[in-house]
Amino acid sequence: MNDQQTSGAEPFRLVVVSGGTSDPSSTRMLADRIANRIGARAEERGESVRTDVVDLRSLATEITTAIVSQLMGPKMTRAIELLGRADAVVASAPVYKAAPSGLFSSFFHVLDNDLLIAKPVVLAATAGTARHALVVDEQMRSLFAYLRTMTVPTSVFAASEDWNSRELGERIDRAAIEALLLMESGFAEQVRSESWNHYQHEFGSAGGTELEVDLSTDLMRLATGGSALPRQQRD
Which spans of this chain sit near another protein (rule: CB under 8 A)? 64-65, 68-74, 202-204, 208, 211, 213, 215, 219-220, 222-225, 227-229
Q: What is the DSSP string of 163-231?
A: TT-HHHHHHHHHHHHHHHHHHHHTHHHHHHHHHGGGS---TTHHHHTB----TTSHHHHHHTT---S-G
Cα separation, 216 vs 225, in Å, equals 13
Q: Closest separation between CB of residue 73 and another protein, Å?
A: 6
Q: Specify the residue, 130 or 228, whose C-beta has the smaller distance to another protein.
A: 228
The CA distance from 193 to 184, in Å, is: 16
Shortest CB 14 distance to another protein, Å: 27
User: Of 46 and 74, which CB lies nearer to another protein in the complex structure?
Assistant: 74
Nearest Cα to Cα of residue 42 among 183, 200, 227: 183
Beta carbon of residue 230, minimum distance to another protein (angstroms, whole number): 9
Closer Cβ to another protein, 195 or 217, answer by number: 217
Question: Bridge partners of 89?
Answer: 15, 121
Give whichever of 74 and 153 is closer to another protein, judged by the CB atom: 74
Count the residues in the chain. Answer: 235
**Closest approach of another protein to the CB of residue 81, in Å:** 13
192 contact partners, CB below 8 Å, separation of at least 6: 1, 117, 118
- Of 145 and 219, nearer to another protein (C-beta) is 219
The least distance separating another protein from the CB of residue 156, rounded to whole angstroms, comes to 35
